[in-house]
Amino acid sequence: MKVSGWTTRVLETPDVNPLIVGVDQPGTREFVTLELDTDDGLQGIGITFFGAALTPALRTAVDNLCELTVGEDPLQVEAVTDKLWLAAGGAGPEGIFTLAISAIDIALWDIKGKALDQTVCSLLGGHRDRVVTYASGALGRPMTIEYLAEAGPRLVEQGFRQMKTQMGAEPTARREVARIRTLREAIGPDIDLMCDINQLWDVNQAITIGSRVEEYQLFWLEDVVVRDDYQGLARVADALTTPIAAGEYVYGIRPFRHMLEQRSIDIVMVDLLRVGGFTQFRKVAGMAEAFNLPVVSHLIPEMQVHSIAAIPNGLTVEYMPWTLRLYEETPAIEDGQIVVPDKPGLGLAFDRDALERYQVG
């Protein structure tokens, strides 16, 4: 079996999160989709994105790299991706190159699963067939405290046992703390509550405000300082009892080595597109396991369910439903857990009507 061709598209979808109720959600999100074909008739799918003005350039990068895969054996995933790294790795690891190669890597694993009649989860290790998932994007900074008090219990009613909010936009520490206190009082003590800072604090803010919210038993504090301040992250992690999660903003596998060696984090968060796809994800997961640390996912839950469920140190999947409208069917949510599809490969198929509706390039 050989790779025989490919199709890419640029899609622009409404930026609407169905977990948000009663709040206007303007704007759009852009995605690059990939369908990678073989001469045996099997097709693998992939996706990548970072949005905005450079999305056409990202599509071009995917096209250029796909051209290099034609004639290659798609089952030899490491060999194919290594060829792409040798051909264009000087353009990375950060930025468009890694985002482009990730779409191809994902599609190759999808083909391999279909060829071997196995799920990608099974190929990656197959530790279990479902994993806890948490509601994300519904409790953000733009939301008022009054909204948070209503939205948190609503997510619990929908079956979520974990959810994530944000801090980092309030003018005072007191008001930041008030948001966490309000949510904790609304959802009770038995629901896991995470909080994302998105790199908006410095080290002193992280320690000061982080200390003040420790009584509310956060499941983790995420990306509290700028992504490559490994020493600063280590200072925060050492000062707080609340676990520190980070990793979604870094590219490739090497930054994770630095974070782990410097004890910068307690929870390893991996973005499948920035790390380089499933091939590189499993290397990070192995490093994390060697340091006795859990791994969590960032975005695209329909694919990350495979990666997190596959490994023994997979902790939870972020349920951010940005991309779910693009598929005919998406993984089921049962009792607060996301279920690995029982179909070969990713168990996903692009919805042709959605592709036609949202295609802009």
Q: What is the structure's pLDDT at 96?
A: 96
The pLDDT value recorded for residue 123 is 98
Which H/E stretch holds residue 276? none
Give the whole-angstrom CA distance, residue 261 versus residue 129: 31
Q: Which CATH number fits domain 3-118+352-358: 3.60.150.10, 3.30.420.10, 3.40.50.150, 3.30.390.10?
A: 3.30.390.10
Distance CA 286, CA 354 (A): 36
- Quick check: helix, strand or coil at residue 199? coil
Structure tokens at 51: 């949005």
Is 122-339 CATH 3.40.50.10420? no
Please give the pLDDT value at position 15: 95
DSSP string, 134-164: EEEEEE-TTS-HHHHHHHHHHHHHTT-SEEE
Taking only the tens of pLDDT, the chain with its 361 residues reads 999 999 999 999 999 999 999 999 999 999 999 999 999 999 999 999 987 889 999 999 999 999 999 999 999 999 999 999 999 988 888 999 999 999 999 999 999 999 999 999 999 999 999 999 999 999 999 999 999 999 999 999 999 999 999 999 999 999 999 999 999 999 999 999 999 999 999 999 999 999 999 999 999 999 999 999 999 999 999 999 999 999 999 999 999 999 999 999 999 999 999 999 999 999 999 999 999 999 999 999 999 999 999 999 999 999 999 999 999 999 999 999 999 999 999 999 999 999 999 999 8
Question: Phi and psi dihedrals of 147, rounded to 5?
Answer: -65, -45
Same fold, 3-118+352-358 and 122-339: no
Q: Which single residue is written with the structure tokens 């192995």? A: 286
Q: How far apart are CA 109 and CA 68, in angstroms?
A: 17
**Count of other CB atoms within 10 angstroms of residue 79:** 10
Structure letter (DSSP) for residue 2: -
Question: 130-159: string of b/e by CB count within 10 Å (b at 16+)?
Answer: bbbbbbbbbbbeebeeebbbebbeebbeee
Rounded to 10°, the helix 278-290/254-261 angle is: 10
According to DSSP, the β-strands at 130-139 and 314-319 are parallel
CA 230-320-181 angle, 5° bins: 70
CA 15/CA 13 separation, integer angstroms: 6
Furthest-apart CA pair in the chain: how many Å?
62
The domain segmentation of the chain, as residue ranges, is 3-118+352-358, 122-339
The pLDDT, as a whole number, for residue 92 is 85
Please report the pLDDT score of residue 89 as a whole number.
85
What is the pTM assigned to this prediction? 0.98
Task: Look at the chain and count its residues.
Answer: 361
Helices (H), 70-218: 77-88, 96-116, 120-124, 145-157, 173-187, 203-212
